[in-house]
Amino acid sequence: MKISIAQLNYHIGNFDGNVAKMLNAVKQAKAEKSDIIVFSELCTCGYPPRDFLEFDDFIKLGEKAIRRLAKAAKGIAIVVGSPSRNPVIEGKDLFNSAYFLADGKVKHVSHKALLPTYDIFDEYRYFEPASEFKVVEYKGKRIALTVCEDIWNVGNENPMYTVCPLDELMPQKPDFILNLSASPFSYDHAADRIHTLKANVKRYGLPMFYVNHCGAQTEVIFDGGSIVMSPNGKVHDELPYFEEVVKTYELDEVVKGKTTAVQSKDKMTLIHDALLTGLRDYFGKLGLKKAILGLSGGIDSAVTAVLAQRALGAENVRVILMPSQFSSDHSINDARQLAQNINVQYDIIYIEDIYEQYMSTLKPHFAGTSFNITEENIQARIRGMLLMAMSNKFGNIVLNTSNKSEAAVGYGTLYGDMAGGLSVIGDLYKMEVYALAEYINKDGEVIPQNTITKPPSAELRPDQKDSDSLPSYEELDEVLFQYIEKQQGPKEIIKMGFDKKLVARVLRLVNISEFKRYQTSPMLRVSNKAFGMGRRMPIVGKYLS
């Protein structure tokens, strides 16, 4: 028996586009004389469809997609993820289902039992969990159909769940396991995934075909990395990251257990490639081409510019240098040098005249006050506004250049440097931005060395340095990581050896800056706890604040 897996880049709500792509894959699989082709979770509608699932019209389009695919399921079986309706009045209206299509019809539908409802996931908001488990028989084989999270509770060791779907299916003696996934990227997820698949295969002694999405949906990035695993726990094949691939396997070969080398899981390589995917798909799926960003001479905008140039092409990226009276010469030179290195159009717009006009207009209202953060913010906001004006006039989308450390402690100006349609490096702590800059420069200087080595500064008043108002990024980033990614409280973090006052201050800054993050653009997610849809915090609260 031959089994094909299709790792594709879907588009939420674009049923026609998704089905067309899938029909192409079916064609290829047929040409390769495959018996079964397996797609991913909820691939007719894209993942995550979010509240579109509450529209009957949207569900009908999913049903129509299934009918179209069923028609193509002749001479080949098609396994595809799509929402299905719960016929029982009690419980949620929908299931998150795996359809088995054969002989031009729907032969079987299995439902997802373990519904992730944490971080960016809201599945219990929409779906009823499966309560029945049944293998599908096809061409003399018994097939265990599972959907994503279903295989992440090996032997009931995941404390979140009380059911283990494969344990339920085993008495029916399946021959192999299919898993339809929509498992988002984070820089350590590819390794986790192989670990989990191995644990399953070890427990059940069956070959496994794991099919993931690739591509990005706004901030959520899918890396693909679909896996065919042999019953002995060896990776028979791992599909490339961030690429569409349809590939066919001989089941007997998979059962034999030959190992193929798995791909590098180097953190910066993965993050770099994930961010390019995130950028490309944000623009591509919105029908946009051109980006614009402010280049300050600092590390954050430099890294963002290079990523944009690599993802969208130099001809689609435009950068603006917006010096003020507080900008140092080296900043302008470093920014210009970078623009030249990556061959993107750059313009210089001096903001001093506009700044002076604001000051003059505000003078009667500001009488008796002195220069403070207000004037700093005005500069940042003039820059944000100029970028938005260029964006409005020429159609380039503004890329936000903030990093995760800044976003965490609120070191940024709303509507100023926090403006933009998409935050490219908003899920990278400052030290990770440096590491990514080094990675970018690995084959030669792209980002000027001076941008990497000089002390970070917002340059909003004379001789300002980030270190004037923030602890060192080495220390700050570690405290933030413990609080944000590891959900450690103040006591635990202090126990790790950090200064009590520092911890209290940093955690307080994070909590009181929630109102700023609430109003920022989506941030491409590369960690397993990014700001945005996966971290939901009250604005009005009094916890550690």
Which residues are designated catalytic?
41, 112, 148
Terminal C-alpha separation, the chain: 61
- Whether the upstream peptide bond of residue 455 has omega within 30° of 0, thus cis, is no
Nearer to a copy of itself (CB atom), residue 237 or residue 417:
417
What is residue 52's three-state secondary structure? helix
Nearest residue (CB) to a copy of itself, 14 versus 441: 14
Give the nearer residue to a copy of itself in terms of CB position, either 75 or 415: 415
Task: Measure the CA angle with vertex 48, ends 4 and 279; round to 5°.
Answer: 85
Nearer to a copy of itself, 191 or 537 (CB): 537
Nearer to a copy of itself, 386 or 408 (CB): 386
Least separation in angstroms between residue 534's CB and a copy of itself is 9
Contact indicator for 91, 128 with CB cutoff of 8 Å: yes
Minimum gap (Å) between residue 419 Cβ and a copy of itself: 6
57, 46 Cβ separation under 8 angstroms: no
Nearer Cβ to a copy of itself, position 501 or 536?
536
d(CA 96, CA 110): 9
Would you say 40 or 520 has its CB closer to a copy of itself? Answer: 520
The structure tokens listed for 502 are 């520092």
Beta-carbon count within 10 A of 415 CB = 13
Nearest approach, Cβ of residue 122 and a copy of itself (Å): 7
> Residue 85 and residue 108: Cα distance in Å, rounded?
14
Nearest 5°: the CA angle 376, 378, 381 is 115
Least distance CB 222 / a copy of itself (angstroms): 13
Query: Maximum CA pair distance of the chain?
Result: 87
Report d(CA 438, CA 334) in Å as an integer.
16
Burial class of residue 328, CB neighbours in 10 A (0-12, 13-18, 19+): middle
CB of 401 to a copy of itself, least distance (A): 16
The distance of closest approach from Cβ of residue 367 to a copy of itself in the complex, given in angstroms and rounded to an integer, is 11
Lay out the sheet containing 94-102: strands in order across: 105-111, 94-102, 77-85, 36-38, 2-7, 245-250
Q: Residue 4: which of 78, 99, 75, 103 has the closest Cα?
A: 78
In which element (H, E) is residue 246 found? Answer: strand 245-250
User: Taking the complex as a whole, how short is the minimal distance between the CB of residue 479 and a copy of itself, in angstroms?
Assistant: 14
